[in-house]
Amino acid sequence: MATGDPIDPQVLDFLDQHIRSIEQLEILLLLLAHSDRIWTARDVSVELRGNESSTASRLDELARDGLIQRWDQPTCEYRYERSPALDALMGRVADCYSRFRLRMIERIFKK
């Protein structure tokens, strides 16, 4: 990150620890932007124009990391896991992604 504005080090740490793909990051940002909504994998895949099976896998990864909630009854549903600390960090992640999208994508792909 030698040129341009630096990406927040906490955002980089978050990417390194929790984000395995661009799809996963975009799913998390979608749920963040609509944190009052409960989603199914199908809902998310339609919204992001993705593959439902891949979306379901990414949602499960995010749930295992404690970043979103998952309910299995009566159907599998998900929602962003709100907390003051996570909300603050995710606000920075969203801001960096809007300003440094290519650099963040490169960081994720380098893993």
Confidence of residue 111 (pLDDT cuts 50, 70, 90): confident
Q: Measure CA 55 to chain center.
A: 11
Domain 9-109 carries which CATH code? Answer: 1.10.10.10
Residue-wise pLDDT tens digits, 81-102:
889 999 999 999 999 999 999 9
Domain boundaries, the chain: 9-109
Residue closest to 44 by CA, chosen among 63, 27, 67, 21: 27
Residue-wise pLDDT tens digits, 31-84:
999 999 999 999 999 999 999 999 999 999 999 999 999 999 888 999 998 899
Confidence of residue 8 (pLDDT cuts 50, 70, 90): very high
